[in-house]
Structure 1
Amino acid sequence: MKIGFYTSTFNDRPFEEVVEFAASAGFDAIEIDVRGHIKTPDKVQAAVALAREHNLFVSSIAYFGNQLDADRDKRGELRASTEEFAQAIGEAGVPIFIIFPGRNDEADEEANYDDFAEYANRLIAKTTASGLIFAIENWPGPKDNFIGTTPKGWQELFSRIPDRRFGLEFDPSHLIRIGVDLYTAMDAVKDRIAILHAKDTAIDADVQQSVGYHGKGWWQYKLPGHGLLDWPRFLRQARNNGFDGTLSIEHEDAAYGWPGKDLSQRKEGERLGLRYLRNVLDQI
């Protein structure tokens, strides 16, 4: 497996600086955030070339946004931009494009799944030549209601989107905090996992007892090895399932400068994650 990181942790820094750090720190790969480091489709080729000049594999490009936005104009604008990015990403030879399904709060559950699946199937059809893989991250969203972020939601989507060029950026940290057994969940979708997000979650049982699931402050995202996840078990299971892709560290650990605080701490957090994951992979 390759180890990289998601560049959103450094969205306040020039992409050239981020790439130089990734290479000097010993990372194999990089996952580029559109909104932070590419901005427009015509910038894709240059960004990818720069990463490759530093011997970094561009594992994926991620484009945050609600593809089911209830506002028709916002939804249309995002989808048109997504299609342009998909074309540019495919032409650049990047294998995976990460998007977020989101949710239309004004539509029912069935309509949300039908709408997103219809759109995803069109994206797949339009990118046959490049073979680009589309993957959604299982982030529940700011209201904890995005579609396609639970085992049931995945099956709802996969039944509507049969092409294996549609899959998951599987992030175990989200499953920990919503109470889903991530090991069982991973086995059920092993053939649809395109990339793994390397992120952990810590839970403070005392705070949880005080405020309940709907309260705040009882869980925190952490770097790999600093939370509840059994990483040797998780990565051994992924390997046994045939996964040999990229582990992309998504650094959102407040103990190491996130979000957008001390730069040296953020970099140290990435280095810690890299060392920890390398050690686990060497031992399993």
Structure 2
Amino acid sequence: MRIGFYTNYSKETAEFAHEVGFTSLQLSAWPGSALDANTTTDAQLAEIRKDLDSKNIQISALGYYPNYQHPDDHEREAAQAYLPKVMDLASRLDVEVVATFAGQDPRLNVEENIPAFKELFSRYCDLAEKSNVKIALENCPMINVVTMRGNNIAYSPEIWDVIFDVVPSDRLGLEFDPSHLVWQGIDYCQAIKDYASKVFHVHAKDMEIDRKILARSGILGRSFAPKKGLDRRWWRARAPGWGEVDWPKFISAVIISGYQGNLDIEHEDDVFASMQTIHSIRSEADVVSNYSQERAGLRLGYNTLSKLIVT
């Protein structure tokens, strides 16, 4: 199992990863990224592959996380049209996993979103079969702090059972992130063992719980606090080792589950990110563009994980 992080590709980032000891990268494939599925040529892919190969860095997965059921017609249609291009890009790069969200129309409840999910991802899984890639759904609810509605239905084991039942494809699985299960109160170690055959990629992110805020605001979170960083809730994403995830226990569960992929840090730690200027955060594309450039959190996360994994 290799240790890496989710980032936009650049030669500077690859050099940093190599210098620290990372041997895996999950690369952003959003429009406008270095791996823009609309514009990246085979020659550019060959250069990226050559650079990473020279540093013994694997590409573990490509990442693209829009809302495929967005209420806005233009955003929804653009997202739905782009994912097949990302799958083709992954095939051209010989990358097995494309990580994404399931999406959610926030005007509807989870159950009401299932028919649209079934129709869309049944088609995507057929395309994944042809491209010889797998689709990994990240388990983040993507709760909007203003509306308290989510943009991604694939956030709990109860729902995973339904989505894997309605789309029974071996091309559809999970990008497992323990941090999102911590604040939901879900047993992340049991969950990864229960869904072992469906775990295609693993994110390493920690979760800090502020129990003073929780005791005062309750589980729905604060309503009037200023929005800072990614949220204003009682939970906060942290670098591995700086939150409540039991990393020896979790990595043991990962190994027991038989997972054969890499472990990639998804850096969303506002504490370390405050050391540099963070620009506007409007989407997951902005998250990876900003947070993955902050080096201290990545170094400290690597220090935590590297003591627990023999690469």
Query: Normalization by structure 1: what TM-score?
Result: 0.89
Q: Cα 1:249–1:258, aligned 2, differ >3 Å: closer, same or farther?
A: farther
Partner of 1:39: 36
Letter in 1 for 2:263: L
Q: Is 2:309 the partner of 1:281?
A: yes
Partner of 1:183: 189
Do the aligned partners of 1:166 and 1:192 also contact (CA within 8 Å) in 2? yes
TM superposition shift of 1:129: 3.6
Letter in 1 for 2:110: E
Letter in 2 for 1:268: A
Q: Cα 1:265–1:111, aligned 2, differ >3 Å: closer, same or farther?
A: closer
Partner of 1:16: 11
Q: Cα 1:116–1:260, aligned 2, differ >3 Å: closer, same or farther?
A: farther
1:33-112 matches, within 5 Å, as 33-35=28-30, 36-43=33-40, 45=42, 46-47=44-45, 48-49=48-49, 50-112=51-113
Query: Normalization by structure 2: what TM-score?
Result: 0.82
Aligned residues: percent identity?
30
Q: Cα 1:30–1:139, aligned 2, differ >3 Å: closer, same or farther?
A: same
Q: Cα 1:161–1:109, aligned 2, differ >3 Å: closer, same or farther?
A: same
Looking at secondary structure, tell me which structure has more helix per residue: 1
Partner of 1:266: 294
CA distance in 2, matches of 1:190, 1:44: 35
Deviates more, 1:169-178 or 1:40-49: 40-49
Deviates more, 1:69-78 or 1:163-172: 69-78
Aligned pair count reads: 278
Q: Cα 1:211–1:106, aligned 2, differ >3 Å: closer, same or farther?
A: closer
TM superposition shift of 1:172: 0.5
Letter in 2 for 1:117: K
Q: Cα 1:127–1:183, aligned 2, differ >3 Å: closer, same or farther?
A: closer
Q: Deviations over 1:85-128 (max 9, x none)?
A: 21121122011101112211344533412212221221221232
Do the aligned partners of 1:93 and 1:130 also contact (CA within 8 Å) in 2? no
Q: Is 2:5 the partner of 1:5?
A: yes
Partner of 1:28: 23
Structure 1 alignment gaps of length 5 or more: none
Structure 2 alignment gaps of length 5 or more: 222-231, 279-290
CA RMSD of aligned residues (A): 2.4
Tell me which of 225, 237, 241 is aligned to 2:253: 237
CA distance in 1, matches of 2:293, 2:63: 24
